[in-house]
Amino acid sequence: MALAGISFLTGALISLATSWLLVTRLERVGERFAISEALLGMIAALAADAPEITSSISALSQHQFGIGVGVVVGSNVFNLAALLGLGAVVAGTIHLHRRVVVLAGVVALWIAVVTVTTSTGATSPLEGLLLVGVVLVGYVVVMGLRDHQRRGLPLPERWTTWLCSAVNEEEIELNESIQPRRGRPLDAVVALGALVVVIVASVVMEHGAARLGHHFHVADAVIGGVVLAAVTSLPNAVAGVYLAARGRASAALSTALNSNNLNVFAGLLVPGVILGLAAPSRVGTVTALSYLLLTALVVVVAYAYRGLGRLVGWLIISIYALFVVLVVVLT
């Protein structure tokens, strides 16, 4: 078991360190090709999600469905608690633009609802993928367009004006937060190498965690939904708290919600269609409902009060603590 412990710790450290390198190099490549700040933020979120997504796919491919599903949905619950809950506690108050909250929040809520219906068996992984894919692709397209291109969309003028304002408000903060220098061909090579390292290290980490958990009779739901979910989400957590503390609240919100959206799409539904998902269970339902509850709480409070205060931050963290207790008790 010592080897499994070493594998877990080594894989975790290498995966986390290399994922940061992957994010920074992809940002530089995106800058070289003049990608919009909003789309660049999405790419950075996807790169930061590489450990969660890889760990989930690794577990699902070995028919460890409880771990695979738990890593993705559990990390989404952790993201909300660490990025926005802890971010609000550290910053005191994080102020948000209402348009940004609505634009990102509607997409996030839709995907959280589909996660619940898929986890409970109300919709199949394929149906969930289609429901999420249509909305997420539309969102990515809108975020990737330039201002004049958004105004040319076949929508009422009021809608396109509102969309332009919402995306611009988010991009102002993203531009100040990311600020990558123009990339070189070497950055693309480094990014590709970093991606390979992250994938291998994440697989090693997942294997080590599974072996340790099974040796000590820890349930798969705890291994995936609590342990691996938290460890793989640490880069996002550090980034989110840093952004909130610097007053870049919209960037922190975007990082949290977009990371969760991409987790569900790439780490749960796509592999779920190919490899299958866990049968509905009490723990799976609690995890999915916790994800939906925290997403709804963040969106509603952020819209109503134009931000998140320290009290709400502590509430979010308390709900996450309750979620961990429920997962342990139910297994």
> Can you say whether residue 155 is alpha, beta or left, with left for phi > 0 and alpha for psi between -120 and 50 degrees?
beta
Contacts by 270-275, CB closer than 8 A, 24 or more apart: 270/129, 271/56, 271/57, 271/60, 271/61, 271/68, 272/60, 272/69, 272/118, 272/125, 272/128, 272/129, 273/125, 273/126, 273/129, 275/57, 275/60, 275/61, 275/68
Range of the domain at 138: 2-330
Strand partners, 162: none
139-185 confidence digits (pLDDT tens): 888 877 777 777 887 878 888 888 878 777 766 655 555 455 666 77
The predicted structure's pLDDT at residue 40: 62
The predicted structure's pLDDT at residue 299: 94
**C-alpha dihedral (16, 245, 90, 18), degrees to nearest 10:** 0
Name the DSSP class of 182.
P
H-run or E-run covering 92: none
Q: How many domains does the chain have?
A: 1
286-307 confidence digits (pLDDT tens): 999 999 999 999 999 999 998 8
The predicted structure's pLDDT at residue 22: 67
* Closest to 159 in 3D by CA, of 131, 138, 173, 176: 138
Q: Is 60 exposed, middle or buried (0-12, 13-18, 19+ CB in 10 A)?
A: buried
Rounded Cα distance, 45 and 54, in Å: 14
Biggest distance spanned by C-alpha atoms of the chain: 63
- Find the CATH number of the domain harbouring 179: 1.20.1420.30
Would you say 100 and 75 are in contact if contact means Cβ atoms under 8 Å apart? no
Beta strands 93-95 and 307-309: pairing type?
antiparallel
* Closest to 273 in 3D by CA, of 129, 120, 63: 129
The predicted structure's pLDDT at residue 210: 73
The whole-chain average pLDDT of the chain stands at 80
Rounded to two decimals, the pTM is 0.85
Rounded Cα distance, 180 and 176, in Å: 10
